[in-house]
C-alpha cells in the first residue's frame, strides 16, 4: 500500500478551510530506531492523550505560483521553522496528494499545552495536518467515504510526517508496527486496540511533570538514526517485540504489577539506548532521577500502582488508574512538586482521539 494516485488533481481548483484537533500520545512500548520511509524497527504501543492536543486550521486557495506557497502561523505568529518543515512534508506527499501543488496554504496551529513545557508536539501537529489533507481529498474527490479507510490513510500520511503521529489518529490504546498473531497490525499505519482490554486501562491518568522545558539537545530523528550503529540495537528490537507481546496479554488480564514492570523498563531502556549510542547522549536531568526514586519509594511504602514513563526528554509521565487519583494527587503535591519547574504539571488522561473542528 502506498496511496500513490495521480488522479487526485482538481479541474476546478477550490478555496476553503478545514480544521482538526489531534492529541499527543505517550508510548508504553517505545519506537526508537527506524528503516527507510518511516518504517519502525520494532512495534510500539501508546495511550492517546486527551488534553495535550494541537488544533490546526488549514486554509487553501488556488495557487498562482508554480507550486504551493505555504504560510504557517503558530500560536498567532508567523513561524518560519514550521513553514519549512510542513513545506518539506507536503513535497514528500506529492505522489499521494498531487493536488497539493495546485493550492496555496495558510496553516494556523495552536497547542493546548504551554509552548514552554518542553512537550513534543510533532505527533499531535502532524496528525492534525494529515487529517486536514485527507479531509480535503474526501470532500473534493470520490474517495475515503469509508470511515475506516479514511482513518487508515490519515494514519499512513501522519506516519510520513512523524512516526509516532500515526498512533494519535485513534483514541485509547494504539499500536504501530507488525506484531505476529495480532490482526490488522502494520508497519505502515497505527491500529486501535479495541478488544481484549481490561477496563482499568480506559481510566488511566497521565500527569506530566515538567522537569525541564528547554528544547531537546538531540532531536528524535537523530536519535532514531543512531540506533543503526548502536551495538545493542539488535537485542533491543527483539526485546521490544517480546515486551509488546507480553504487554498486550497484561492489558487483557489487568495485572498492574506486570504492567508497571514492563512500562518502566521500556522507559529506562529508551534512555539506555541514547547513552549507548555513538556519539552518546542523555536527556534526563537530576530531578528526573529524583522523581523516579520517589516513585519507587512511594510504591514500596503504599502499594499504590503508580509508575512512570519517559519520552525522549527529561519530563516524567506519571501513569495511574483513576481510582488512585486522590492518593496520587497528595503524593504529587507533597513529594514531587518541588522537582518541577514552577510547579508545572499537566494532568492528562487517556482520550478518545481526534475531532473535526466546526469552523
Q: Which residues bind ligand PMV (CB under 6 A)?
A: 27, 30-32, 44, 122, 162-164, 220-221, 270, 311-312
C-alpha cell at 303: 502499594
Least Å distance, CB 58 to ligand PMV, is 21
CA dist., res. 180 & res. 353, Å (int)? 26
C-beta of residue 102 within 8 angstroms of C-beta of residue 86: no
Residue 27 or 247 having the CB closest to ligand PMV:
27
30 or 152: CB nearest ligand PMV: 30
**With respect to ligand PMV, which residue has the nearer C-beta, 206 or 311?**
311
Residue (164 or 233) nearer to ligand PMV, CB = 164
Q: In the complex, what is the shortest distance from the CB of residue 311 to ligand PMV, in angstroms, rounded to a whole number?
A: 5
CB nearer to ligand PMV: pick between 103 and 117: 117
Residue 33, classed as helix, strand or coil, is coil
Q: Which is nearer to ligand PMV, 68 or 351 (CB)?
A: 351
Task: Determine contact, residues 305/321, Cβ cutoff 8 Å.
Answer: yes
Query: Is the dihedral angle over the CA atoms 343, 349, 354, 355 positive or is it negative?
Result: negative
| Alpha-carbon span 83 to 136, nearest angstrom | 19
Quote the least distance from Cβ 349 to ligand PMV, whole Å: 18
Cell numbers given for 29? 512500548
| Torsional sign, CA 103, 104, 106, 107 | positive
73-93: burial string, b at 16+ Cβ within 10 Å, e else: bbeeeebeebbebbbebbeeb
Whose Cβ is closer to ligand PMV: residue 138's or residue 317's? 317
Rounded least distance, CB 125 to ligand PMV, Å: 11
**Nearest approach, Cβ of residue 30 and ligand PMV (Å):** 4
User: In 10 A of CB 323, how many CB atoms?
Assistant: 10
Spatial CB neighbours of 312, under 8 Å, sequence gap ≥ 6: 32, 120, 216, 220, 223, 270, 274, 283
Smallest distance from ligand PMV to CB 168, Å: 10
Q: Could you tell me the smallest distance in angstroms from the CB atom of residue 224 to ligand PMV?
A: 6
Measured from the CB of residue 348, what is the shortest distance to ligand PMV in angstroms? Answer: 15
Q: How far apart are CA 318 and CA 310, in angstroms?
A: 9
C-alpha cell at 357: 473542528
- Closer by beta carbon to ligand PMV, 101 or else 239: 239
With 0-12 CB in 10 A as exposed, 13-18 as middle and 19+ as buried, what is 155?
buried
Amino acid at each position: 500500500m502506498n496511496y500513490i494516485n495521480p488522479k487526485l488533481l482538481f479541474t476546478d481548483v477550490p478555496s476553503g478551510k478545514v480544521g482538526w484537533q489531534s492529541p499527543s500520545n505517550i508510548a508504553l512500548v517505545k519506537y526508537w530506531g527506524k528503516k527507510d520511509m518511516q518504517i519502525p524497527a520494532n512495534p510500539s504501543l501508546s495511550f492517546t492523550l486527551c488534553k495535550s492536543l494541537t488544533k490546526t486550521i488549514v486554509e487553501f486557495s488556488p495557487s498562482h505560483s508554480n507550486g504551493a506557497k505555504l504560510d504557517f502561523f503558530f500560536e498567532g505568529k508567523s513561524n518560519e521553522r514550521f513553514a519549512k518543515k510542513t513545506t518539506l512534508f507536503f513535497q514528500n506527499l506529492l505522489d499521494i496528494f498531487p493536488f497539493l501543488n495546485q493550492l496555496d496554504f495558510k496553516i494556523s496551529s495552536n497547542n493546548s499545552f504551554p509552548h514552554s513545557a518542553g512537550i513534543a508536539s510533532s505527533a499531535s501537529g502532524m496528525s492534525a495536518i494529515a487529517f486536514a489533507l485527507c479531509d480535503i481529498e474526501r470532500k473534493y474527490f470520490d474517495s475515503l467515504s469509508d470511515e475506516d479507510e479514511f482513518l487508515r490513510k490519515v494514519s499512513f500520511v501522519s506516519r510520513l510526517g512523524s512516526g509516532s503521529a500515526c498512533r494519535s489518529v485513534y483514541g485509547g490504546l494504539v499500536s504501530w508496527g507488525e506484531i505476529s498473531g495480532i490482526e490488522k497490525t502494520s508497519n505502515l499505519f497505527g491500529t486501535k486496540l479495541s478488544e481484549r482490554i481490561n477496563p482499568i486501562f480506559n481510566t488511566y491518568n497521565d500527569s506530566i511533570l515538567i522537569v525541564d522545558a528547554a528544547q531537546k539537545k538531540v532531536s528524535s530523528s537523530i536519535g532514531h538514526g543512531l540506533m543503526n550503529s548502536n551495538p545493542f540495537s539488535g537485542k533491543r528490537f527483539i526485546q521490544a517485540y517480546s515486551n509488546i507481546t507480553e504487554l498486550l496479554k497484561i492489558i487483557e488480564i489487568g495485572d498492574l504489577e506486570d504492567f508497571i514492570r514492563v512500562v518502566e523498563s521500556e522507559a529506562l531502556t529508551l534512555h539506555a539506548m541514547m547513552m549507548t549510542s555513538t556519539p552518546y547522549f542523555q536527556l534526563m536531568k537530576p530531578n528526573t532521577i529524583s522523581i523516579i526514586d520517589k516513585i519507587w519509594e512511594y510504591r514500596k511504602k503504599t502499594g499504590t500502582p503508580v509508575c512512570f514513563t519517559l519520552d525522549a526528554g527529561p519530563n516524567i509521565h506519571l501513569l495511574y488508574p483513576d481510582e488512585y487519583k486522590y492518593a496520587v494527587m497528595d503524593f504529587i503535591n507533597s513529594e514531587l512538586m518541588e522537582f518541577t519547574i514552577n510547579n508545572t504539571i499537566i494532568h492528562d488522561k487517556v482520550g478518545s482521539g481526534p475531532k473535526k473542528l466546526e469552523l
